[in-house]
A and B are shown apart, each in its own frame.
Chain A
């Protein structure tokens, strides 16, 4: 089969990369403090919260999409308020996809980071505190630099997971070109229309991106462990 790239519409790919990128950045900002908080001590509240955060790992994406659809319907509740006050609608919008992706990919960001923080000896933090450093300084200068491999894994997993998001987008996206028509939807559409050429191109690109990212993580982790004397 000949691949003719000149006629291809690459917007779904850009849209997908944009979605994955923004989601990952947001999740970093939200996920780091939450992962840190969860890594310290245990209370029933923390356990429940962690369970809720982990739900998207096992929940079918269509279920999440369904609940989001109902929750943000502009006819009642939050959806109505958003519509009236800010004129935003989360369903059928890029912002809605971002919100859905943040929820859906959260366990991939928080999980590895929290585990890594928990594995750091508590004496590291104690040593930092004894030197007069605040919890925030300790987090920034002592904890974070020592979980780099897990941090990278978390970022890559989050990004790749969002790249592949389909079920949720199918429910609340509305397949709007350049707004919510991401690559995974475009592939599905192309197959349905028997446009196997487009399906192949989109699929190959997505595969290549994710493959390179995953290989990159493995190489980085191996290199970290074998680092020669500076």
Chain B
């Protein structure tokens, strides 16, 4: 009996050691669809596995601040990574790896040509946006509503998702008639729900500059540097573009 326990413990430790070698990448919720493609491509090119942890940028920042063992953080904006840099959680300034694209989306075929007027009608009872205080796409959604002059009028219909992931859940399950989300959602092959959408004019909101930093947990880890460079490489940029992001 004792021998079996020893063997099992040994296996678990071994497993733990194996997993500990994987890079841990904190990934903002809007990247959930695209990180899978990036993972696959990176593995093909380097043979390395990475472990993505998806959450809202605000949530992930708080975790990093409290010692979460992440190597790289791909945020949905620049301010969260910049704050972390200023607080000393990174030795290098954040860099922009892509620009987010905001879309208006529904699981019903509504017709978005005049969406700013559509939102005022009774046809639309609930509008989902990500919590603007912690999710940059939510902030962008608010900006575009303000730009169109309808933010106050539709305020009573707005519901807030904890992250862009929750907004997507609301949209695909149909509990809201429309939502503002990332274009990456509609390009995600994992999404089986037919969606109807339209790109929001980028001039109506401040650009969603998504920043990446390499965290001090990865100090001395050459693999982390490889992934960092990969994200900025043309191959990765092509994948981002495929998912609707804007890249330099």
A interface residues, Cβ below 8 angstroms from B: 69-70, 72-76, 79, 83, 89, 91-92, 170, 172, 174-176, 189, 191-194
Give every chain A residue within 8 A of B175 (Cβ-Cβ). 69, 72-75, 79, 89, 91-92, 172
**B173 in contact with A73 (CB, 8 Å):** yes
**B133 in contact with A193 (CB, 8 Å):** yes
Q: Tell me, yes or no, whether B56 is within 8 Å of chain A by CB.
A: yes
In the complex, 13 of the A-B residue pairs with CB atoms within 8 angstroms, ordered by the A residue number, are A69-B173, A70-B173, A75-B108, A92-B159, A174-B126, A174-B128, A174-B161, A175-B159, A176-B160, A192-B56, A192-B133, A192-B134, A193-B134
**Which residue of the partner chain, among A73, A170, A172, A174, contacts B174 with CB atoms under 8 Å?**
A73
B interface residues, Cβ below 8 angstroms from A: 56, 58-59, 62, 107-108, 125-126, 128, 131, 133-134, 158-162, 169-170, 173-176
Give every chain B residue within 8 A of A83 (Cβ-Cβ). 125
Q: Which B-chain residue is minimally distant from A176 (CB atoms)? A: B159
State the CA gap A222–B134 with chains docked (Å).
48
**Which residue of the partner chain, among B58, B126, B162, contacts A89 with CB atoms under 8 Å?**
B126
**A92 in contact with B173 (CB, 8 Å):** no
**A174 in contact with B159 (CB, 8 Å):** yes
The minimal Cβ–Cβ distance linking B210 to chain A, given in whole angstroms, is: 18
Give every chain A residue within 8 A of B133 (Cβ-Cβ). 189, 192-193
The minimal Cβ–Cβ distance linking B107 to chain A, given in whole angstroms, is: 8
**B160 in contact with A175 (CB, 8 Å):** yes
State the CA gap A90–B167 with chains docked (Å).
17
Further pairs besides A73-B174, A189-B131, A193-B133: 4, Cβ < 8 Å = A69-B169, A75-B107, A89-B125, A176-B159
State the CA gap A176–B161 with chains docked (Å).
10
**B169 in contact with A174 (CB, 8 Å):** no
Give every chain A residue within 8 A of B125 (Cβ-Cβ). 74, 83, 89
State the CA gap A72–B174 with chains docked (Å).
10
Give every chain A residue within 8 A of B160 (Cβ-Cβ). 174-176
Q: Which A-chain residue is minimally distant from B107 (CB atoms)? A: A75
